[in-house]
Amino acid sequence: MRRLRKYLLSEPFYVLPPGFSGFLKSGKSFPLKIPIFVNELVYSSSISKTKTTLEYPVKSALFGLAVGDALGVPVEFVGRSWLKRFPVDDMRGYGTHDQPPGTWSDDSSLSFCLAESLCHGYDLSNIAEQFLAWCFGQKWTPHGEVFDVGAATLSAIERLRNRELPPHLAGGMDEGSNGNGSLMRILPLVFFIHNKPAEERYAIISDVSSMTHGHFRSVFSCFVYLEVARQLLWGKPVADAYKEGIATARQFAEDQAFNRRELSYFSRTLQGKIPEVHEDNIYSSGYVVHTLEASLWSLLTTSSYSEAVLRAVNLGEDTDTSGAVTGGLAGLAYGFDDIPADWVEQLARVEEIEYLCTAFAERICR
């Protein structure tokens, strides 16, 4: 059995070899003690054959996220200087995780789990069950195995599994628990909250983020991201969506008297200066603020889906998450039809993703 490879980013990742029956923690393995789950999204005849008002944007967002993720998987942890010489310009495979082309990572898996859960209403306990089914039962994995999971996410899922705390308190709340593990999966929530008041939007985002990442910085990153996504969902052009999204976030932060020291970490984003930042000063580690800035910068300095996600991936390091987080926004901005068809066709489980999009759009509109 091959040893797990541990990569030290802002949020470490554990790479799981095929067939591995447990996770290593502190050098020791432990068996899985919950039942194996299977994908259980019901292929219901009740799904309408007509398009809902959200079907196209849902499809644009979820496929945009998954394609960006898959573009980044083969070069995860690769440095920017190497990618300057050998940039990603198409869907490729193998590389870091030895996965075939079109393989998406935990970013998409957990996003799909959240979307499927929301098909049945908003219930944190059910979202937790979906996350457990992914982590320990391979639900919504591209090829039947979990090959990449963030350390903070894994720790939180262990707490969910053991029912140590309510779901919204399972995530780490210390300053060191600010990897991008909640930002990478939060996008489906925009379709549930987009018409709700700001206070309610923030409260829901906070609870869903805090299932794995409960520190203010992680929660507020998700809030800013979804405020921009919300404007894109309403049809605003990219630059306007950014300006209006951050204006809402700024005003809300002021109204709530959020800690100024914490808000200082978002100064470039909230002041509207992200498009002006030179690439050398855009970072692409697993730190949540870096991922938020990198995704907005990649979107705001390009003019199509493919340009945005390739720019994000070629920043290097946490390439799958940069690609996924950017890809979700770019999908909303430019639409499914702007995602290269051959990239979509190579995605693992493409038909099941499409069905999920239809089911999610139908049920979220009820």
Q: Is residue 339 part of a domain?
A: yes
169-217 pLDDT, tens digit each: 999 999 999 999 999 999 999 999 999 999 999 999 999 999 999 999 9
Domain count, the chain: 1
Q: Is residue 26 part of a domain?
A: no
Band (58; pLDDT cuts 50, 70, 90): very high
Q: Is residue 161 part of a domain?
A: yes
Structure tokens at 52: 């809902």
**Alpha-carbon span 58 to 359, nearest angstrom:** 10
- Asked whether the beta carbons of 128 and 172 are under 8 A apart, the reply is no
254-264 pLDDT, tens digit each: 999 999 999 99
Pick the residue with more confidence: 7 or 121?
121
**Alpha-carbon span 180 to 221, nearest angstrom:** 9
Quote the pLDDT of residue 53.
84
Quote the pLDDT of residue 52.
58
Share of the chain above pLDDT 90, in %: 83
Structure tokens at 237: 């052009």
Q: Is residue 66 part of a domain?
A: yes
**Alpha-carbon span 64 to 322, nearest angstrom:** 12
- Asked whether the beta carbons of 294 and 283 are under 8 A apart, the reply is yes
Quote the pLDDT of residue 316.
98
Quote the pLDDT of residue 9.
32
Q: Tell me the average pLDDT of the chain.
A: 88
- Say how far residue 226 (Cα) sits from the centre of its chain: 11
Mean pLDDT of all residues in 118-133: 97
Q: What is this structure's pTM?
A: 0.87
Q: Is residue 196 part of a domain?
A: yes
By residue range, what is the domain housing residue 159?
A: 60-85+103-364
Quote the pLDDT of residue 20.
27
Q: Is residue 229 part of a domain?
A: yes
- We report the CATH number of the domain holding residue 190 as 1.10.4080.10
Region of residue 164 (phi > 0: left; psi between -120 and 50: alpha; otherwise: beta): alpha
139-154 pLDDT, tens digit each: 999 999 999 898 999 9
Structure tokens at 303: 């003019």
Q: Is residue 220 part of a domain?
A: yes
Residue with tokens 């070899």: 17
Q: Is residue 320 part of a domain?
A: yes
Q: Using the predicted structure, report yes or no on whether residue 66 has a pLDDT greater than 60.
A: yes
